[in-house]
Structure 1
Amino acid sequence: MDAGSLVPPPHVARPLRLLPFRGLTLAPKRIGAPSSVRAFTRPYRDVADRLQRWERRGELSHDEAPAVYLHEYTSGALSVRGLVGALDISRPATGRDDVAVFPHEGVHPAQAAELAARMSEMQTNPAPILLVHRGPEPLRDLMDNLQRRDPLREFTDRGGQHHRVWAIRDEHHQAFLGRCLEPARAVIADGHHRYAAYLRMQQDDPRAATGAGLAMLVDQDDTPLYLGPIHRVLGHVTIDGLRTAAERTGATFRLADAAPAVAALASDTLVATDGRSWATVRLEVPADRLAVEVLHERLLPAVTPRPTRVAYHHAVDDALTDIASRPGLAVLLPAPGFGQVLATCRADRLLPEKATSFQPKPSVGVLIRSLRDE
């Protein structure tokens, strides 16, 4: 799929609302296991029946009453907590000031349509999309108070994540939560295509169940997600080809040894290597832009011949392994700041595809939403 096919997802209106739902939770031995992720793949129409079989065998719990959930998960040394509910997507935004959820990347319409068809067949939202915002102090106080109580569930999954889950069913707590979230403006951290799929489902089959989609809202000022870059590998591009492109666009290109090159990585400086030679490329990055934008808008269009492929890697080692097995150039990017991503959204701009990596994500299966419940 080429970047030209990307489109912005529609916007939903404020206030941001997380509605109660009856949570489904896989048994701890299934959460974090690759087989559980595969369970939500083809044949999609069998997923709902499969979940019912697991429930009869005691391998899945299905809460009796709807709730908004507080979910804390710990991966390594990092703990993240957030609110999980059915995100109200029933009202389209009428203008920028009315937007509740900001995407920061475009989506491929065909991929969003495929996901919508899959979830419609499954009658399930298998995992929450991940939203981040800057929450108010009273909301953090509410979560602190809830966490002084015994959790509804606590376990360590097969992947090593530790989970604690509290159900928020008290009407006063839910009303207070709603008031805290009224002014919220969240950014999609993970799940742009699933978000677009929610909206496609609501458009194709408007009813109560499709008027919402499963989401987890994390306060980036409370338990921040790690925000990292996603590096590029440019197929059959050479160091000399990158040097020429840098000269054409006014960037500063310098050869360097590996260690000094990596140390020079900065908000306006990229690092490139073909596995033998290393170089730094200092870009002219405007104050309101990110290096990844300048890379895609100015530098890459000047590369000739054009890359035969563009691959994406979260880890530097993976990018280096890629170029060790086939010709190409690894381009290492600096990590963006959350404030920069938020400013990009509020300026009504989208970042290039796969521009950010919010980590860690919660394991699949801790909270699932069945559309058959509504």
Structure 2
Amino acid sequence: MNPAGHSEATTRRGLELTPFRGLRYDPDRVGSLAAVTSPPYDVVVRPDGLHHLQCADPHNIVRLILPQAATSGARNEQAADTLRRWRSEGILTTDPEPGLYVYEQSDGDGLVQRGVIGTLRVTDPADQVVLPHEDVMPHIVADRADLMRATSANLEPLLLTYRGDGPASATAQLIERTADRPPLLATTTEDGHHHRLWSVTDPADVAKVQADLAQHQALIADGHHRWATYRRLRAEHPSPGPWDHGLVLLVDTARYPLRVRAIHRLLHGLPVADALAALDGLFRVRRLDVPLPDAMAALADAAGTGNAFLLAGDGAFHLVDRPDPELLARTIPMDRPMAWRTLDATVLHATLLAHVWRIPEDSPAHIAYIHDTAATVRKAERDGGTAVLMHPVHEDVVRDLARQGVTMPRKSTSFGPKPASGLVLRALDA
């Protein structure tokens, strides 16, 4: 295991990345490429963000990754029909040659992230080729599986990270050389991020990348539910076949470190007053009548010395920290490493949700997982619920637990920047 996180594969077979014929928007058939892209499906803040994206362009990818209808079956049928229609009308066209795709994201603050998009062989957990670090929710895996079956497509890539061998590696050299060429597409999305995409079709270049990546394993940075979906669908279909592989973006974090952010919780039907009353005598609670940035700074300070959370939804912020040690001893499972037992997400799920507030963590009717801090607060204030704002866990903790085969509580981290959905898709019949 190398010190930066993603160990070299100890099994006979490492990452197996293969080229594919990408399915991409024809820029002459849509208003703009930026207008048809979307954040990954689980980052879109419903319903505000969904409606905004739907209105941005009638062909926005959100109509495929988050179709809207009364029932699950109707939603998936709608997505499949939409995909077939867009392909038949030439809105989405298949690239003539199979290839790998070099993808770059940048912003005005000095961020540059580059990686390779391809189809990755789906492996079993025992192979330790792709390392998860979070648990998944079965209903989301079932939902994504139904959508993939209906569309027979991978509509957006997972984000995987690995630890490369430096600038002299074949993959690093290919990426930097390719980035000097004119791209297949370039666009700037609403968040100010610039996106560029190139195809690599030369068999010799593809072979060098494949040989390089075969020496490594990867950490799932974003897309645990989609990886679990890939594994479920692979088990359902005969092999060899297209379901043996899934669409991924691989980023070498030795060259392009990712940012780690928290994912917040919105507790439906639990007013802030009730949430605070239940904490009496179990946690220290302090009211903060300050703006959101100052409240988050106070959360960061408190998280430096122990478990801490920020509750919102009643017009103020409430800093919750210093849990009762006896409460933690009663509620936190002892069969996991100390690094896991002391995670904020562990305390939130095992102690607060399960024992103090008695809220089922896997019920969309009771809890929502939202990436945007301000949006979580707004929704709590509008709906009368409680926003639980989290401080991000350090990436080293994520890597160390993944190496031990220990998964964190679901939705514990948000790595980024995430790939924009809609730049390249994979149709399994291509």
Shorter-chain TM-score: which interval?
0.7 to 0.9
Give the drift of 1:16.
0.8
Tell me if the contact between 2:352 and 2:358 (Cα under 8 Å) persists in the aligned partners. Answer: no
Give the drift of 1:153.
3.0
Alpha-carbon distance between aligned partners in 2 of 1:348 and 1:18, rounded to the nearest angstrom: 23
Q: Structure 1 length as normaliser, TM-score?
A: 0.82
Alpha-carbon distance between aligned partners in 1 of 2:147 and 2:372, rounded to the nearest angstrom: 30
Greater share of strand: 1
User: Following superposition of structure 1 onto structure 2, how do residues 55-94 of structure 1 map, counting pairs within 5 Å?
Assistant: 55=90, 59-75=91-107, 77=109, 78-89=111-122, 91-92=123-124
Matched, 1:293 2:317: no
Alpha-carbon distance between aligned partners in 2 of 1:304 and 1:159, rounded to the nearest angstrom: 36
Q: Which residue of 255, 260, 272 corresponds with 2:310? A: 272
Tell me if the contact between 2:137 and 2:410 (Cα under 8 Å) persists in the aligned partners. Answer: no
User: Following superposition of structure 1 onto structure 2, how do residues 152-231 of structure 1 map, counting pairs within 5 Å?
Assistant: 152-156=184-188, 161-206=193-238, 207-231=240-264
Q: Report the equivalent of 2:412.
A: 355
Q: Report the equivalent of 1:22.
A: 21
Alpha-carbon distance between aligned partners in 2 of 1:156 and 1:323, rounded to the nearest angstrom: 31
Give the drift of 1:83.
0.6
Q: How many residues align?
A: 349
Query: C-alpha deviations, 1:139-177, integer Å up to 9, x for none?
Result: 323321222233333334577543222222222222221
Q: Which residue of 27, 45, 55 corresponds with 2:80? A: 45
Change (3 A) 1:159 1:324: closer
Q: Return the letter of the residue paired with 2:25.
A: L
Matched, 1:102 2:131: yes
- The share of aligned pairs that are identical, in percent, is 31
Give the drift of 1:327.
4.1
Matched, 1:322 2:369: no
Alpha-carbon distance between aligned partners in 2 of 1:233 and 1:116, rounded to the nearest angstrom: 25
Give the drift of 1:277.
5.9
Question: Is the partner of 1:196 in helix, strand or coil?
Answer: helix
Change (3 A) 1:154 1:263: closer
Alpha-carbon distance between aligned partners in 2 of 1:254 and 1:343, rounded to the nearest angstrom: 31
Give the drift of 1:244.
2.9
* Unaligned residue ranges in structure 2 (runs of 5+): 1-10, 38-52, 68-74, 329-337
Q: Return the letter of the residue paired with 1:291.
A: D
Q: Return the letter of the residue paired with 1:152.
A: L
Alpha-carbon distance between aligned partners in 1 of 2:140 and 2:320, rounded to the nearest angstrom: 35
Change (3 A) 1:329 1:184: same
Change (3 A) 1:187 1:243: farther
Q: Report the equivalent of 2:178.
A: 146
Alpha-carbon distance between aligned partners in 2 of 1:102 and 1:348, rounded to the nearest angstrom: 8
Query: C-alpha deviations, 1:300-334, integer Å up to 9, x for none?
Result: 43415658933333233223223323444433221
Q: Report the equivalent of 1:282.
A: 322
Q: Structure 2 length as normaliser, TM-score?
A: 0.72
Alpha-carbon distance between aligned partners in 1 of 2:187 and 2:383, rounded to the nearest angstrom: 43
Deviates more, 1:276-285 or 1:69-78: 276-285
Alpha-carbon distance between aligned partners in 2 of 1:210 and 1:129, rounded to the nearest angstrom: 15
Q: Return the letter of the residue paired with 1:297.
A: A
Alpha-carbon distance between aligned partners in 1 of 2:318 and 2:21, rounded to the nearest angstrom: 53
Tell me if the contact between 1:290 and 1:340 (Cα under 8 Å) persists in the aligned partners. Answer: no
Change (3 A) 1:44 1:318: closer
Question: Is the partner of 1:85 in helix, strand or coil?
Answer: strand
CA RMSD of aligned residues (A): 2.9
Question: Is the partner of 2:232 in helix, strand or coil?
Answer: helix
Query: C-alpha deviations, 1:280-302, integer Å up to 9, x for none?
Result: 30357944542212222234434
Tell me if the contact between 1:239 and 1:329 (Cα under 8 Å) persists in the aligned partners. Answer: no
Q: Return the letter of the residue paired with 2:309.
A: V
Change (3 A) 1:328 1:13: farther
Change (3 A) 1:302 1:116: closer
Q: Return the letter of the residue paired with 1:272.
A: L
Q: Report the equivalent of 2:157.
A: 128
